[in-house]
Amino acid sequence: MKTYRADLHVHTVLSPCAQVEMIPPLIVREALDLGIQLIAVTDHNATANIQAVMKAAQDTELIVLPGMELQTREEVHLLCLFDTLDQTFAFQTIVDAHLPNIPNNPDFFGEQFVVDETGDFIRSEERLLLSSADLSFEQAWAQVDQLGGILIPAHVNRKSFGLLEILGFVPVEVPVDALEISRHITPQKARETFPQIAAYPLIQNGDVHGLDGFLGTSHYTLAAPTIAEIRKAVQNLEGRSVRIAPIP
């Protein structure tokens, strides 16, 4: 077993709300400088920069999982994490078919840059990524589960795009493995404030949009950095576990 300090909610310059500094080499360097060993790249409704971050992390101790932060029909944000690029790109095909064809307005929403592993510009994503896909929470879970990924509702305590603000509860028909809380609340306070989540495992991430946003408070004890192992860890099975440290 190994314990990984992790932040599983990291955006790149492909997300229009991310800072221009969120390019692959700087993401990798900052994570390593902070002692973070495991990250997931989770741009809004998009996956085009994941491979670049993976390449930037080659020959380092940083492990990069592919993922996406999906915005559902209900306007709930969900972390969708996978083991492989093929799984993630398959999910991207599904999401693309359900995203509205609205052009981005960079002056209003921000740029959406696809870059290479050095951070050099490749192209701009023309379709607005800050849109809701025509997929319900339940449909999104089914698609992620079928592809072998894990779905975790993001920053559930937040008023913007948080599950509890929008729905007020965790749908019992969706067997989620864990819930993500924001950096602005402790697990104890979250459970006291929202008793409807008391029975769910919690993780915490930085929702990183700038280099100063890394958190790394979640420590995963795993046999390997895989989705199956993360699922065991959040459920505290077979010696795997997740510990949320206090924010410094």
End-to-end CA distance of the chain: 26
How distant, in Å, are the alpha carbons of 108, 113, 146, 178, 182 from that of 102? 13, 17, 28, 32, 29
β-partners of residue 67 are 81
Task: Give, as one character, the DSSP assignment of residue 169.
Answer: S
The burial of 210, by beta-carbon neighbours within 10 Å (0-12 exposed, 13-18 middle, 19 or more buried), is given as: middle
- For residue 173, the domain's CATH number is 3.20.20.140
CA 162 from centroid of its chain's CA atoms? 13
Band of residue 83 on the pLDDT scale cut at 50, 70, 90? very high
How distant, in Å, are the alpha carbons of 6, 130, 161 from that of 74? 28, 13, 9
Query: For residues 61 and 147, what is the distance between their CA atoms, to the nearest angstrom?
Result: 27
Nearby residues of 103 by Cβ (< 8 Å), 6 or more positions away: 126, 127, 128
In this prediction, residue 247 carries a pLDDT of 82
Query: Could you tell me what percent of the chain has a pLDDT over 70?
Result: 100
Return the beta strands (E) in 136-201 as ranges: 150-153, 179-181
Query: For residues 20 and 230, what is the distance between their CA atoms, to the nearest angstrom?
Result: 30
β-partners of residue 71 are 77
Mean pLDDT of 52-57: 98
Residue 222 has pLDDT above 90, yes or no: yes
pLDDT in tens, 118-176: 999 999 999 999 999 999 999 999 999 999 999 999 999 999 999 999 999 999 899 99
Query: For residues 171 and 159, what is the distance between their CA atoms, to the nearest angstrom?
Result: 18
pLDDT in tens, 201-216: 999 999 999 999 999 9
| Domain boundaries, position 30 | 2-244
CA 177 from centroid of its chain's CA atoms? 14
How many domains does the chain contain in total? 1
Task: Give, as one character, the DSSP assignment of residue 103.
Answer: B
Amino acid (1-letter code) at residue 26: L
Amino acid (1-letter code) at residue 41: V
Around Cβ 159, how many Cβ atoms within 10 Å? Answer: 9
| DSSP 3-state of 185 | coil
**What is the radius of gyration, based on Cα positions, of the chain?**
17
